[in-house]
Amino acid sequence: MAETLAQAEDHLVAGSEGAVKPTACIVLNDGQVFYGIGFGAKGTATAELCFNTAMTGYQEIMTDPSYAGQIVTFTFPHIGNVGTNSEDDETADPLAAGMVVKWNPTEPSNWRTADHLSTWLAKRGRIGIGGVDTRRLTRSIRLQGAPHAVIAHDPEGNFDIPALLAEAKAFPGLEGMDLAKDVTCAQSYRWNEMRWAWPEGYANRLEPGHRVVAIDYGAKRNILRCLASAGCDVTVLPATATAEDVLALDPEGLFLSNGPGDPAATGAYAVPMMREILDKSDMPVFGICLGHQMLALALGARTIKMNHGHHGANHPVKEIATGKVEVTSMNHGFTVDSQTLPAGVVETHVSLFDGSNCGIAMTDRPVFSVQHHPEASPGPQDSFYLFERFVEAMKSKS
């Protein structure tokens, strides 16, 4: 039976003028229900629930294709304070299913603001819920693993909790789910836009560069900008591109992008392509996030689902060869099992949070990948050298 607003008197949430009745809720598959104030689009969405510890970049997070199939809980309370603008989108529309925040978004205060966060979400069909005890919710995710959840927004406050719970329990989960095919580009295209710089903003690369084919498993715009800024002439191909499609462009290097879902599921068609490329060509290969995981699969390793994954912009990663510690941005729910790396492949980076794998490389070829996002610049720009390393590998081949 539906739980109406009148029946929810015990679920009052804190608002700016005291306790108010809920207009949104999030229902976990273990039966937990969190109430709050809805913003953005109305309706419901079902997905895996994760948490992100970043203090900035909520718009980039919501439009990161790697968050397809997930609802994002933000542990930092000031979400929405700088509004939204078209320049910060990583893709044309948000791919995350919804967002959960501690405080309802305030009026934005930033010279780049074009839209209020709530308006931006409503236009794009994404649900937000504020006034939630995100600390308690995050603890639950850390202890019990990333749950399946339904987020609901109804201005009248009518929630059929048993039905929502049934939806959450019926969600199949991300294991075995190939989401790259849902977020990849429909056809190939060229990319020449470079990183943002004052005062020009995003400038286009005009001079010739190293020919790079980028496979789009859910590529973020800023990754492509970093490739262009590092000296690459980029052609983007869909996730289902074959080795013949890649080699027909006579590239000097192959880039494997980030993306959502289970790497083993996407790897059903991507791994054979990678193995054929490695067999037929000695070109440099560079992978990030999902691309990293699928490269590991192509080389003979395995991937596993993590308890709650890594999502945030303050993750310390150690480069083993130098001992250098990088502050990185991460977003992944699967990881490469470093114990399964075959001969000729070494671990290059590890997480200082839990020791999980964050990078691999072949010992005899310029083929490497990392789990973190070196393009994200979460305050520092510690990891941009990886793009430069990729370009240097192509230079040495020419």
Active site amino acids: 289, 373, 375
For residues 210 and 200, what is the distance between their CA atoms, to the nearest angstrom?
Answer: 24
Phi then psi for 66, rounded to 5 degrees? -65, -15
Cβ 333 vs Cβ 174: under 8 Å:
yes
C-alpha–C-alpha distance, residues 272 and 264, integer Å: 12
Radius of gyration of the CA atoms of the chain, in A: 21
**DSSP secondary structure string, 311-341?**
EEEEEEEEETTT--EEEEEEEEEEEEEGGGP
298 within 8 A of 354, measured Cβ to Cβ: no
Question: From CA 47, how far away is CA 170, in angstroms rounded?
Answer: 10
Residue 75 CA to residue 314 CA, distance in Å, equals 12
Q: Specify the DSSP element, H or E, that contains 276.
A: helix 263-280
SS3 2: coil
